[in-house]
Amino acid sequence: MSDDPSARPLRRALTAALGLQVLLALLLFAGDLGRDFSLPTRGPAAPDLDQPTTPGDQTRRYDPATRPAGPGVAPSGSMPERLVLTESDGAWSLSGQIAPGDGERIIRQIEARGDGAPQVIRLDSPGGSVTDALELGRAIREAGLNTDMESGAICLSACPYVLAAGTERSADEDARIGVHQHYFGENTLLPAFTAVSDIQRGQGLVMRYLDEMGIDLRLMEPALMTPPKEIYLLTREELRDFNLLTTAE
C-alpha cells in the first residue's frame, strides 16, 4: 500500500494522542491520580514566560491569571477573569481569560452591534475554557471576521483556537502564541475509564475543529507534549507551517 504524504500529519497527531492516552490509562489504573494530575512533562521546570525563546527552547511556565511582561512590554498585573469585548479604532478588542459561558456571551455582544460592526478581532488572552473557545471560534468563522494580535499581546492555551477562526489571521512579531495539554480541572477521582474517555472526546473535538478551520493537525504534537502548567510558544515558522497565521507581519 502506498504512503499518502498528505495523511502523514493526521497520522502523527493521532499516534501521539493514542500513545499519551495509553500512558495516562496505565497511570490512572496504577493509582497515580494526585491533585492537579497532568501528563508527563518534557523535563526540568520551565523558565518564566518573559524569557526569550529559541527553536528547541520554547517551553515556558504558564499562569493564566497574570499577564506576563514581554519584549518592551511591562507586566500589567492580573488578567480579567472573563473575556472583555471592547471596540476601538475600527476593531474589536477581546482580552482576558476565557470563562465558562463566555462563548455565548461574546457572540451575543458581537451580533448586537449589527451593521457596521468591526471586521477584525484583536486578541489578548491567556486562554481558559476550551468549549467556549471552540463555540466562539465557529461563530467568528461563520461571520467572516478576521483575527489579529498586536505587539506584546498573548494568545495561549485555548486562545489559539479563537485565533484559528479568523478568515485572515495575523499577529505582530512580538505577539506570543502558545499551546499545551488541555486542563480538565481538579481531580475528582473519577473511574479511570471515565477520565480517559473524557480526554479522548476532548481531543477529538479539538482535532475536528482545527480541521474545519484549515489548521495543520501537527499543531497537536507540541500541545499534547506540554503539561498544563507550562506553555509551548510557537515560532513564526511553526505558525506559518501550521497555517495558524495567514499573514506574518
Cell of 208: 475536528
- 39 in a structural domain: no
Residues 221, 219: Cα–Cα separation, whole Å: 6
- 3 in a structural domain: no
Residues 93, 98: Cα–Cα separation, whole Å: 14
* Structure confidence by residue, pLDDT tens digits, 145-166: 999 999 999 999 999 999 999 9
- 36 in a structural domain: no
**Domain count within the chain:** 1
- 97 in a structural domain: yes
- 207 in a structural domain: yes
Say if CB 206 and CB 130 are below 8 A apart.
Answer: yes
- 1 in a structural domain: no
pLDDT of amino acid 135: 98
Residue 155's CATH number: 3.90.226.10
- 80 in a structural domain: yes
The pLDDT > 70 percentage for the chain reads 71
Q: Which residues of 31-54 are buried (b: 16+ CB within 10 A; e: fewer)?
A: eebeeebbbebeeeebeebeeebe
Q: Which domain holds residue 162?
A: 8-31+44-248
Say if CB 239 and CB 171 are below 8 A apart.
Answer: yes
Say if CB 59 and CB 45 are below 8 A apart.
Answer: no
Residue pointed to by grid coordinates 485565533: 163
Is pLDDT of 18 > 70? no
* Structure confidence by residue, pLDDT tens digits, 53-101: 889 899 999 988 766 655 444 445 678 899 999 999 999 999 999 999 9
Residue pointed to by grid coordinates 463566555: 102
